[in-house]
Amino acid sequence: MRLVCLVNIIFLTSSAIFSDNSIAAQSPDTTSLTFHIQRGGRLYFSYPLNIIQFKEVFIDNVMQDSSFTISITAKAPFTLFSQHKVRIPYLFYPGYNYTADIKAGETVIDFKCADKHKEFECNALKDITAATLGFDLSSEKNANKYFSPNGQYDRSLDSFLISLKNQRIALLDEYRKRGNISDEGYRLLHAYIYYDFIGKRLTPFYKTNFDPKKIPGWYVDTIRQYQHAFHDSSLLRLYTFQGALIYYHRYVATDTNSGHSTLASQFAVAKNFKGSLPVSNFLLYQVLNLGKNKDYKDYAMYVDSFKLICSDTLYKKVIQQNFDLMAKERVLSAGTTQLLTLHGNLLDFDSLISRQKKLIYIDCWASWCAPCKSEMPSSAKLQKEYAEKNITFLFFSLDNISTKWEIGSSDYDFMNKNNNFLVAGNFKSPFVMKHRIGSIPRYILMSNDGKIIDGNAPRPGDPKLKELINRNL
């Protein structure tokens, strides 16, 4: 399932070399993950910066044996994933150090820990998934056979999901019987499996051909039993808990006659949530962060209410930053391209271009765009090579949330306040419309008088780009 969250991607190519920064966890709230990657090894890994912001590490075919350490701060156990073709979950505890040796050609990670219970619990979900079936209703083509011809959720699918859950819990019970896992480990792993099951039960509700007016009574009765299932805030760092919570909330907020939920209904359900305050805060944040809800005319009113009700400073900060950017975008004059600076100010595109060197190479990217990220090492080399030449390199992010852009660009030393900007309006901006940018990455070579030399210039790693630049310098 896909959560509404802030994601930042680190993409490292074959030239990436890591130093050995293996360190011990320095506090009870810090978890360290140390990766030892053999030459030719690959790593696709997602880890949390906090409860709503994540980073994804893409390391492809390293040139020599390398090591690096990630430190994660969390007060509660959390799950994260390796993501090579199949999403594989792992469970981690605050205050522990984990290591993983990754050999060339291997895609499945086995973590090691000095505490053998914690080591087993870390890898248990991977082993349980492999021993049963990795089944994702949101993407699995074969899932369609479990739906009735009119696209409705039926008994056969529900029976399958119940059977899958029971198989996984049976394996978990066997682990506990053998003494492989602690009582706390059993509680957390059982919760992960249970909420994965609830989320999958609710996933069909979001299929495009699912008609809420035809929901069978037994399905309604089944889902109603979960109204008190989301009170334990210690589970908020489990990905399946978050997903099931979001799905259940939107289910409750949806009008069965129209088949739609409004910002008003979603906010009311989240506001009236009967449970722990951290879970309520998380729900309120998700409502305000949902992209389509920002199109409602009374969105500003709900932002004000959210700031009064929500007690979590991180959620309020992110929502306020996004709202401020929206407010700036709405006052832009038609046809004018405005860029947001790292200082939070708006800058006119034409005035920026006129102050640059003779040639300008614009890199249109976004924090979620893996192909964009794959070109960044080549871009860094290109800038060094042309540092003394009459050309400026600019980076225009098309992220729709400013915090995504800020976190994403912080991974690159060559991005700074002078060359790094967020395009106000992103894919609806005059800049995108003018240059007909339908996908990214996209590169534009122009002169400082506004003349377009190549509106679809070669990528930084393409040798043809240097030929194009040299011809026009």
Q: What is the CATH number of the domain that holds 380?
A: 3.40.30.10
CA pair distance 318, 256, nearest whole angstrom = 32
Co-location of 110 and 145 in the same domain? no
Q: What's the CATH code of the domain at 103?
A: 2.60.40
pLDDT of 3 > 60? The answer is: no
User: Which segment of 6-10, 32-36, 287-291 scores lowest on mean pLDDT?
Assistant: 6-10
**Among candidate residues 240, 255, 270, the one where a domain is terminated:** 255
SS3 category, 348: strand
Give the pairing of strands 338-340 and 420-423.
Answer: antiparallel
- Residue indicated by tokens 């899932």: 143
pLDDT the model gives residue 161: 85
- How far apart, in Å, are the Cα atoms of 267 and each of 233, 261, 298? 20, 10, 12
Q: With respect to residue 194, please indicate whether it lies within any of the assigned structural domains.
A: yes
% of the chain beyond a pLDDT of 90:
34
Co-location of 13 and 111 in the same domain? yes
Own/partner long-range contacts of 315-318 (Cβ < 8 Å, ≥24 apart): 315/52, 315/281, 315/282, 315/284, 315/285, 318/6, 318/52, 318/285, 318/289, 318/401, 318/403
Is-cis flag, bond preceding 441, omega within 30? yes
pLDDT winner (highest mean) among 74-83, 182-191, 226-235: 182-191
Q: What is the residue range of 78's domain? A: 6-115
Q: With respect to residue 215, please indicate whether it lies within any of the assigned structural domains.
A: yes
Q: With respect to residue 347, please indicate whether it lies within any of the assigned structural domains.
A: yes
pLDDT of 364 > 90? The answer is: yes
Single out the residue of 8, 7, 4 nearest to residue 376, CA to CA.
Answer: 8
CA pair distance 135, 403, nearest whole angstrom = 32
Q: With respect to residue 127, please indicate whether it lies within any of the assigned structural domains.
A: no
User: Which segment of 286-295, 356-365, 373-382 scores lowest on mean pLDDT?
Assistant: 286-295
How many C-beta neighbours within 10 Å does residue 132 have?
17
Co-location of 391 and 439 in the same domain? yes
Co-location of 293 and 368 in the same domain? no
Q: What is the mean pLDDT of residues 443-466?
A: 90
pLDDT the model gives residue 206: 62
CA pair distance 386, 465, nearest whole angstrom = 12
pLDDT of 435 > 50? The answer is: yes
Single out the residue of 29, 33, 18 nearest to residue 111, CA to CA.
Answer: 33
More confident residue, 142 or 459: 459
pLDDT the model gives residue 216: 76
* pLDDT tier for residue 25 given thresholds of 50, 70 and 90: very low
Co-location of 297 and 358 in the same domain? no
* pLDDT tier for residue 393 given thresholds of 50, 70 and 90: very high
pLDDT of 136 > 70? The answer is: no
Q: What is the mean pLDDT of residues 6-16?
A: 41
pLDDT the model gives residue 158: 81
pLDDT the model gives residue 13: 40
Over the stretch 399-411, which tens digit does the pLDDT of each residue have?
887 878 888 888 8
pLDDT the model gives residue 122: 96
Q: Euclidean distance between the first and final Cα of the chain, in Å?
A: 49
Q: With respect to residue 366, please indicate whether it lies within any of the assigned structural domains.
A: yes
User: Which segment of 27-41, 56-70, 374-388, 451-465 scores lowest on mean pLDDT?
Assistant: 56-70
E strands, 352-403, in order: 359-365, 391-397
Over the stretch 41-50, which tens digit does the pLDDT of each residue have?
888 887 777 8
pLDDT the model gives residue 192: 96
pLDDT of 6 > 50? The answer is: no
* pLDDT tier for residue 23 given thresholds of 50, 70 and 90: very low
Single out the residue of 188, 272, 168 nearest to residue 237, CA to CA.
Answer: 188
CA pair distance 423, 238, nearest whole angstrom = 34
Single out the residue of 69, 23, 66 nearest to residue 42, CA to CA.
Answer: 66
Q: What is the mean pLDDT of residues 100-116?
A: 90
Q: What is the mean pLDDT of residues 216-236?
A: 87
Give the pairing of strands 53-59 and 6-12.
Answer: parallel
Q: With respect to residue 53, please indicate whether it lies within any of the assigned structural domains.
A: yes
% of the chain beyond a pLDDT of 70:
84
Co-location of 320 and 439 in the same domain? no
pLDDT of 76 > 70? The answer is: yes
pLDDT winner (highest mean) among 77-81, 325-329, 424-428: 77-81
Co-location of 151 and 211 in the same domain? yes
CA pair distance 42, 45, nearest whole angstrom = 10
Q: With respect to residue 185, please indicate whether it lies within any of the assigned structural domains.
A: yes
Q: With respect to residue 121, please indicate whether it lies within any of the assigned structural domains.
A: no
